Amino acid sequence: MLKGDFPVERFRDIPTPFYYYDLPLLRRTLDVVQRQLDRNPTYRVHYAIKANFNPRILAEIAARGFGADCVSGAEVRAALAAGFPPEGIVFAGVGKSDAEIRFALQQGIARFNVESAAELEVIDEIAGTLGCVAPVSLRINPDIGAHTHAGITTGLAENKFGINYEQMDEVMDLSLSLPHVRYCGLHFHIGSQILDMMDYVALCNRINELVLRLQRAGRRVGDINVGGGLGINYQHPNHLPIADFEGWFEVFRKHLRLPEGTEVHFEPGRSLVAPCGTLIARVLYVKQGTRKQFAIIDGSMTELVRPAMYKAYHRVENLSSDEPEEVYDVVGPVCESSDVFVKEASIDRCRRGDLMAIRSAGAYGESMASHYNCHPLPDCFFFEG
Ligand SMILES: *Cc1c(COP(=O)(O)O)cnc(C)c1O
């Protein structure tokens, strides 16, 4: 059985649990995206840093000249500290505080992706007191249901995100009337872990419709930000370690109908960083239940909450065993019934002390870690190649 390419010998003396990051894989992934950008001079990428804001990961991505998509003032600060230039930083979020808006304006970030008329007025007022003009895009809720987990779809009219597309003209009028904001374009983001490219075709069709409406009204379109959400293959991390960026960019190349020279911005998060991260943990006990056997490991929902929070699947592998597979529920030590990584998974026979790999954990893993049960935040180990 293929177990990826883990330097298991070097793990032996590292206290578990910890995150392992395969930097050569991250670099190969960034190469694929960079080739797409070289082919498409009007495309820009802003890495969604909420997926993983580990400074080492941010530095790798910033070094490529990509921008950053931030959803809090602290993320703007982290992006700047990692070397993303302010002119590459965009700032989204339904609830930006006054302090966050002021900070981002003072740093001279590229764009506020504004999610309501109320927010637009506050940004205008704060920019006024600072004597500057805020560059804004309007985040439009396209009312498209991405075929993904209900907890991570964001583009439906019932979601809290963005401005309903029926209200776009009204909010655009407001943005044009306010003296301290400058309308720069439209922003969209339909959800996460999207594997059905038809969802992105639907987004393109909606964008084309809105662009046509603006053009007919004699309005400027500005640039178009299509957000992120590209999914990865959680089932087969060894065979398919890089997301289908070619297919993703191809959809927009083929389906978007935009005025000549329009910049198109992308905000991938998960797809850039999920495959390169693995949570490494040790088996503490193998417990025989009456109907199940449990592999109890020292990693838990405090390092990787996705299974508990979204019922997300991560492939679990035993890096120390070559014995025949058995069926286990792999669980953590936290006092919550949801602290389960996988149920009834076939895994090479587990013994106390075995090293377990919880794969594809580079996105929304370390960045969502918590101190619950007084657990310390996880350490990390970088494989340089
Ligand atoms: C979270 C987020 C992204 C990134 O989503 P992924 O599914 O990780 O690619 C992009 N844009 C916005 C506005 C976001 O909130």
Report which ligand 1 atom has the smallest distance to the Cα of 267. Answer: 10
DSSP tag of 360: S
Report which ligand 1 atom has the smallest distance to the Cα of 193. Answer: 7
Tens-place pLDDT, residues 237-275: 999 999 999 999 999 999 999 999 999 999 999 999 999
* Spacing, Cα 44 to ligand 1 middle (Å): 15
Tens-place pLDDT, residues 320-332: 999 999 999 999 9
Tens-place pLDDT, residues 33-77: 999 999 999 999 999 999 999 999 999 999 999 999 999 999 999
Torsion region of 206: left, alpha or beta (phi above 0 gives left; psi -120 to 50 gives alpha): alpha
Report which ligand 1 atom has the smallest distance to the Cα of 192. Answer: 7
Closest CA to 176 of 142, 211, 210, 222: 222
* Spacing, Cα 228 to ligand 1 middle (Å): 5
Ligand 1: residues with CB < 6 A are 48, 50-51, 69, 71, 92, 189, 192, 227-230, 267-271, 363
Reduce the DSSP state of residue 324 to 3 states and report it. Answer: coil
* Spacing, Cα 293 to ligand 1 middle (Å): 37
Interior/surface letters 189-214, b for 16+ CB within 10 angstroms, e for the rest: bbbbbbbeeebbebbbebbeebbeeb
Tens-place pLDDT, residues 114-153: 999 999 999 999 999 999 999 999 999 998 866 666 566 6
Give the global pTM: 0.96
Domains with residue ranges and CATH for the chain: 8-18+275-383 (2.40.37.10), 23-273 (3.20.20.10)
- Tell me if 282 sits within 8 A of 272, measured CB to CB: no
* Spacing, Cα 133 to ligand 1 middle (Å): 26
Q: Indicate the top mutation candidate among 50, 119, 141, 148 to test ligand 1's pocket, ranked by most ligand atoms within 8 A of CB.
A: 50
Q: If you average pLDDT over every residue of the chain, what do you get?
A: 95
Report which ligand 1 atom has the smallest distance to the Cα of 92. Answer: 13
Q: Indicate the top mutation candidate among 69, 72, 190 to test ligand 1's pocket, ranked by most ligand atoms within 8 A of CB.
A: 69
Reduce the DSSP state of residue 193 to 3 states and report it. Answer: coil
Q: Is the pLDDT assigned to residue 199 strictly greater than 50?
A: yes
- Tell me if 293 sits within 8 A of 254, measured CB to CB: no
* Spacing, Cα 50 to ligand 1 middle (Å): 8
* Spacing, Cα 154 to ligand 1 middle (Å): 10
* Spacing, Cα 48 to ligand 1 middle (Å): 6
Q: What is the spatial distance between Cα 26 and Cα 60, in angstroms, rounded to a whole number?
A: 8
Report the share of the chain in percent with pLDDT over 90.
Answer: 91
